[in-house]
Amino acid sequence: MLSSFQLRKLILGYYRWDTTKDGIVRSSDFEEVGRRVANNLGVEASSGQYESILNGYRGVWDAYWKGLDTDGDNAVTLQEVLSAAEGAFQTTDVAASEEFAKQINMRLVSALDADGNGEIRMKEYTAFVGALGVNEDDAAKAFNKLDRNGSGVLLADEIAMSWAYYYASDDLTDPSNWFYGEF
């Protein structure tokens, strides 16, 4: 059973992705986030990098969200997300869950890594959460929480696990709670 804290985070995460604010998340919301991220980074719409960023966000939809669409209507409701989360958080095999999270969340890492260097820098993270409605100051606070070793970058495994723990953790002090900005 989801705790009230997990439920709160799931709802916040869900509505972050709902760019149209109509209560439904669709693949077009992910494309819109990709466009916003590219614009936040100053990437030209005609460039290969722009298309790569959009493809990254399309990949996040395909790898994770599309599978939550249980009725096949190409839209994900909050209820579909919550039902999937109830089932997902019942697992007791932590190692398998972490490995799955890393694999699936690498799509998000690819989308966030706008310059393709294998690291998520503050600028890339800020562009991402800014596209989801987080202001720059809150994005900086969140990045510093997620950057547990203070290196100034988030590596692929760090960001993949932070995204997984954001949803799964019931620990109020876990830095992953900051994944979508100040919580």
H or E segment at 146? helix 136-146
Q: pLDDT tens across 83-111, in order? A: 988 876 655 454 455 665 666 667 777 77
Does the pTM surpass 0.85? The reply is yes
Question: Which structure tokens are listed for 180?
Answer: 């979508």
Contact 166, 10 (CB under 8 A): no
Are 142 and 182 a contacting pair, CB within 8 Å?
yes
Which architecture, in CATH terms, is 4-171?
Answer: Orthogonal Bundle (1.10)
Measured distance between the N- and C-terminal CA atoms of the chain, rounded to whole angstroms: 21
Which residue stretches of the chain have pLDDT < 50? 92, 94-95
Instruction: State the Cα–Cα distance between residues 82 and 88, nearest whole angstrom.
Output: 10
Q: What are phi and psi of 156, to 5 degrees?
A: -55, -50
Task: Dump pLDDT digits (tens) for 2-16.
Answer: 889 989 999 999 999
Residue type, 76: V
Q: What is the pLDDT of residue 92?
A: 46
Average pLDDT, the chain: 87
User: For position 94, what pLDDT does the model report?
Assistant: 46
